[in-house]
């Protein structure tokens, strides 16, 4: 999937603490004026310094001497400081001054201006000297600036108030802006329309065929309106996670070149009652203003679950939001070019009112891709990546059965990371192999250090492989390893010849046999069992129960379906209708049949492993020596001849300890 671009005019990554605080325009002007008032006296002193006419600082005694000598023309008293002018420039300190004989003598300076400091005691003699020598005397009283007085008086209060306002607005921004709760959080792609088209969506040809009509309506709505045709107002994209439902919705908007509003259903619901309904109204209002447009609601089951199910009343915030959504979808004019698209992987929990004609009246299945689809996806996700000559995307597509579009994208990215880690210039087939093993099997762990445990794991995995090779209808064994990966101490991997969507009873029984092969090998070889088969037994029990209760593959139960997995427990059905929809007698029969299938299968596997113990020991010894044995070597040891070469990639593991 291509990365989504941020909405126009907004940066979703802007988390600056000042992002929600806007200064008034007059604030910078006031700050500039205060700086000028503070700088004026200093600018005057700077001008004196630059002109070279800096006043010389003299002591009080020398000042009186100069006054008596008639060399002072004018003085100005400013608080405890005296400033004035000499009749002729003087050099201070004079040549006979003791200040020049100190360890750090005062530097002599010559100027016709001076400054001095009055002593802290009153000196009446100074006034007489000034009068006797006709010195002009002026006085300047320092009056503090009213603005500075206000600033020093109310400054701390203003700073505290400003900080409080900033914190309040910052908190509002983090809480979703209290006064903007009712506005939708939908991301709008209007300035730059979604650049994704159907060419960027692979492996979903049937879904694209269904959506071509929607694109045509958005491009030429008059063609349909003129004939009185009603285009579906809502399209529900249904499929497993990672299959590209969001990408498909963006591709529809990109093909039609219309506005695209994207929002997650969980963003509608807030802690305050009525906020979700208000956001729904605002979203559809914006969509109508930008028509033609597509409104995409991701994970709609978060707000669209069935009403009135389970415990509790029907007047909560989620149900009010759902009611408003239903009302808005009913309120579309026939001529309005607005399509509501939604995505979910749980369509069974949606309210029936959402799925009726006139709302989400068209469901498009976005399923897992087949081999051809996976190949097309690989071509898209490896576009722009340097590939080595040994890469076969066809083999990769064949090995990735059950992978979704997101899994394919992750595989391509992991292979590029693997190649980068080893410093390669191009991505090779080995990089895809390592990436596949890392995703499916987990990170490789250090080898087992306990020899007894290593031997048990080797026989356990050899038992899986032995039964898999000797059982008809079982998936071909491709690799057996006793190298720990993830939480598994060993892995036996297999892969079906092609994509399977329909499973026979023989195929399911072969899966049960193969899963039980590890435990049977332990019992035959060591006459004891370990905890290594816990995951195998869980999967065996699940397959057997579904065969009996869902697939009708038990003669005693018959062709009946007692599965209740479709009803989600959080909806409250189990409390309203009981834990099961069938009797205790039927439940007992199902349990007995499941136990019978598993026990009979285990006895058959024990006989199979016991009859081929030499092959079991040979394969176990091969694993102890090499740790990894591929499928062709497994078949050579068990059957005594070579079979078709194994695949290059490790498939999804059949079993692990």
Q: Could you tell me the strand order of the sheet in which 491-494 lies? A: 628-630, 477-481, 491-494, 653-656
pLDDT over 80 at 261, yes or no? yes
What CATH code is assigned to 187-365?
3.40.50.300
The span from the CA of 388 to the CA of 424, in Å, is 10
Token pair belonging to 21: 């605080």
The average pLDDT across 190-214 equals 74
Per-residue model confidence (pLDDT) at position 590: 93
DSSP assigned state of 266 = G
Model confidence at 205, in pLDDT bands (50, 70, 90)? Answer: confident
- The segment with the largest mean pLDDT, out of 41-45, 56-60, 486-490, 618-622, is 618-622
pLDDT of residue 332: 58
- In this prediction, residue 605 carries a pLDDT of 94
Q: For the residues 72-100, what does the mean pLDDT come to?
A: 81
Q: Which helix (H) or strand (E) holds 602?
A: helix 584-611
pLDDT of residue 119: 83
Give the mean model confidence (pLDDT) for residues 442-456. 83
Residue 54 is given by DSSP the state P
3-state SS class at 529:
coil
Rounded Cα distance between 301 and 322, Å, is 10
Whole-structure pTM over 0.85, yes or no?
A: no
**Which two tokens mark 206?**
């049937």
CA dist 339 to 253, 336, 526, 625, Å? 10, 9, 66, 63
Phi, psi angles (nearest 5°) of residue 261: -105, 120
**Which has the higher per-residue pLDDT, 150 or 468?**
468
Query: Could you state, in order of their start, the residue ranges of all structural domains in the chain?
Result: 1-46+160-180, 53-142, 187-365, 374-440, 451-656
pLDDT score for 17: 41
Closest CA to 215 of 231, 200, 203: 231
Q: If you average pLDDT over residues 336-364, what whole number do you get?
A: 83
Cα torsion for 248, 250, 253, 257, to the nearest 10°?
-130
SS3 content of the chain, % helix, strand, coil (to 5): 50, 15, 35
Lookup result for tokens 């009726």? 356
Annotated catalytic residue, options 210, 299, 461, 622: 461
Give CA–CA dist 287/283, Å, rounded.
6
d(CA 504, CA 499): 14
Which of 185-209 are b and which e, b meaning 16 or more Cβ less than 10 Å from the residue's Cβ?
Answer: ebbbbeeeebebbbebbbbbeebbe
Q: 575: pLDDT confidence band, cut at 50, 70 and 90?
A: very low
pLDDT over 60 at 572, yes or no? no
CATH fold group of domain 451-656: Methane Monooxygenase Hydroxylase; Chain G, domain 1 (1.20.58)
| pLDDT for residue 6 | 41
Question: What's the gap between Cα 578 and its chain centre?
Answer: 39
Per-residue pLDDT band at 41 (split at 50, 70, 90)? low
Q: What is the pLDDT of residue 161?
A: 76
CA angle 186, 191, 192 (to 5 degrees): 95
Rounded distance, CA 642 to CA 97, Å? 115
Residue labelled with tokens 């003129």: 226
Residue 175 pLDDT more than 60?
A: no
When pLDDT is cut at 50, 70 and 90, the band that residue 101 belongs to is: low
pLDDT at 514: 94
**pLDDT > 70? residue 19:** no
Confidence at residue 157, expressed as pLDDT on a 0 to 100 scale: 74
- Pick the closest to residue 656 from 536, 538, 543 (CA basis): 536
Q: How far apart are CA 261 and CA 246, in angstroms?
A: 12
Q: Report domain 374-440's class.
A: mainly alpha
Indicate the pairing of strand 259-264 with strand 293-298.
parallel
The closest of 205, 196, 228, 231 to 217, measured between CA atoms, is 231
Alpha carbon distance 407, 652 (integer Å): 13
Give the residue-averaged pLDDT of 628-649.
Answer: 70
Please, which pLDDT band fits residue 123 given cuts at 50, 70 and 90?
Answer: confident
Q: Three-class SS of residue 431?
A: helix
Residue closest to 320 by CA, chosen among 270, 377, 359, 264: 270
Task: Give the separation between CA 521 and CA 473, rounded to whole angstroms.
Answer: 21
Give the angle subtended at the CA of 181 by the CAs of 180 and 182, to the nearest 5°.
Answer: 90
* Residue-averaged pLDDT of the chain: 77
pLDDT band at 596 (very low <50, low <70, confident <90, very high): very high
Q: In the prediction, which pLDDT does 465 show?
A: 93
Mean local confidence (pLDDT), 494-501: 78
- Across-strand partners of 305? 350
Neighbour order of strands in the sheet with 338-344: 187-189, 259-264, 293-298, 338-344, 234-238, 362-365
pLDDT at 108 over 80: no
pLDDT band at 5 (very low <50, low <70, confident <90, very high): very low
HEC secondary structure over 284-323: HHHHHHCCCEEEEEECHHHCCECCCCCCCCCCCHHHHHHH
Residue 353: other Cβ atoms inside 10 A: 18
Beta bridge partners of 296: 262, 341
CB-based burial of residue 408 (10 Å sphere; 0-12 exposed, 13-18 middle, 19+ buried)? buried
- Give 415-418's long-range contacts (Cβ < 8 A, gap of 24+): 416/385
In 3D, which of 58, 54, 32, 31 has the Cα closest to residue 44? 54
Residue 246 is inside which H or E element, if any?
Answer: helix 245-256
pLDDT, one tens digit per residue, over 283-319 is: 888 878 877 788 888 888 888 877 765 544 444 667 7
Confidence at 274, pLDDT banded by 50, 70, 90: low
Would you call 550 a catalytic residue per the annotation? no
- In CATH terms, the fold of domain 53-142 is 3.30.720
């Amino acid at each position: 999937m291509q990365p989504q671009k941020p909405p126009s005019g907004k940066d979703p990554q802007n988390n600056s603490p000042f992002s929600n605080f806007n200064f008034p325009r007059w604030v910078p002007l006031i700050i500039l004026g205060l700086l000028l008032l503070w700088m004026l006296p200093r600018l005057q002193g700077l001008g004196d310094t630059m002109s070279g006419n800096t006043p010389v600082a003299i002591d009080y005694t020398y000042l009186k001497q100069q006054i008596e000598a008639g060399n002072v023309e004018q003085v100005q008293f400013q608080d405890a400081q005296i400033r004035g002018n000499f009749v002729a420039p003087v050099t201070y300190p004079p040549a006979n001054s003791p200040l020049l004989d100190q360890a750090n003598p005062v530097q002599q300076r010559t100027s016709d201006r001076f400054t001095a400091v009055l002593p802290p005691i009153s000196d009446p003699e100074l006034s007489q000297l000034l009068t006797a020598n006709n010195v002009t005397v002026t006085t300047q009283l320092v009056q503090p600036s009213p603005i500075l007085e206000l600033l020093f008086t109310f400054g701390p209060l203003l700073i505290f108030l400003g900080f409080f306002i900033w914190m309040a607005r910052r908190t509002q921004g983090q809480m979703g802006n209290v006064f903007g709760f009712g506005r939708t959080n939908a991301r709008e792609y209007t300035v730059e329309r979604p650049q994704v088209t159907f060419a960027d969506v692979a492996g979903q040809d049937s879904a694209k065929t269904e959506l071509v009509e929607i694109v045509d309506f958005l491009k030429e709505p008059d063609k349909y309106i003129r004939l009185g045709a009603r285009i579906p107002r809502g399209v529900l994209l249904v499929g497993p996670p990672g299959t590209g439902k969001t990408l498909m919705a963006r591709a529809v908007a990109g093909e039609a070149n219309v506005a695209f509003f994207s929002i997650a259903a969980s963003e509608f619901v807030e802690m305050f009652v009525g906020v979700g309904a208000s956001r729904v109204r605002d979203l559809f209002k914006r969509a109508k203003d930008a028509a033609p447009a597509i409104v995409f609601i991701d994970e709609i089951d978060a707000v669209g679950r069935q009403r009135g199910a389970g415990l509790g009343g029907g007047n909560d915030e989620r149900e009010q939001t759902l009611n408003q959504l239903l009302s808005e979808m009913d309120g579309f004019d026939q001529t309005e070019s607005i399509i509501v698209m939604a995505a979910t992987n749980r369509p069974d929990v949606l309210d029936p009112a959402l799925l009726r004609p006139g709302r989400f009246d068209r469901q498009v299945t976005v399923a897992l891709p087949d081999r051809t689809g996976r190949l097309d996806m690989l071509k898209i996700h490896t576009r722009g990546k340097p590939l080595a000559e040994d890469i076969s995307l066809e083999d990769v597509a064949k090995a990735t059965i059950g992978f979704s579009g997101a899994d394919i994208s992750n595989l391509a990215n992991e292979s590029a990371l693997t190649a980068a880690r080893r410093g390669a210039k191009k991505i090779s087939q080995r990089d895809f192999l390592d990436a596949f093993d890392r995703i499916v099997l987990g990170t490789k762990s250090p080898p087992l250090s306990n020899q007894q445990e290593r031997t048990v794991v080797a026989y356990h995995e050899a038992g899986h492989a032995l039964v898999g090779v000797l059982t008809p209808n079982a998936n071909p064994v491709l690799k057996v390893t006793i190298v720990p990966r993830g939480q598994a101490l060993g892995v036996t991997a297999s892969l079906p010849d092609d994509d399977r969507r329909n499973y026979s009873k023989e195929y399911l029984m072969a899966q049960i046999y193969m899963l039980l092969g590890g435990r049977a090998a332990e019992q035959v070889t060591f006459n004891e069992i370990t905890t290594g088969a816990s995951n195998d037994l869980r999967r065996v029990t699940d397959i057997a129960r579904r065969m009996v209760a869902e697939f009708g593959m038990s003669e005693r139960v018959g062709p009946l379906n007692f599965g209740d997995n479709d009803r989600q427990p959080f909806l409250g059905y189990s409390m309203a209708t009981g834990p099961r929809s069938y009797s205790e007698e039927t439940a007992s029969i199902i349990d007995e049949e499941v136990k019978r299938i598993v026990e009979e299968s285990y006895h058959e596997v024990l006989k199979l492993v016991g009859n081929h113990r030499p092959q079991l020991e040979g394969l176990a010894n091969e694993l102890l020596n090499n740790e990894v044995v591929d499928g062709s070597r497994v078949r050579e040891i068990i059957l005594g001849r070579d079979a078709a070469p194994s695949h290059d990639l490790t498939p999804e593991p059949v079993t692990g300890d």
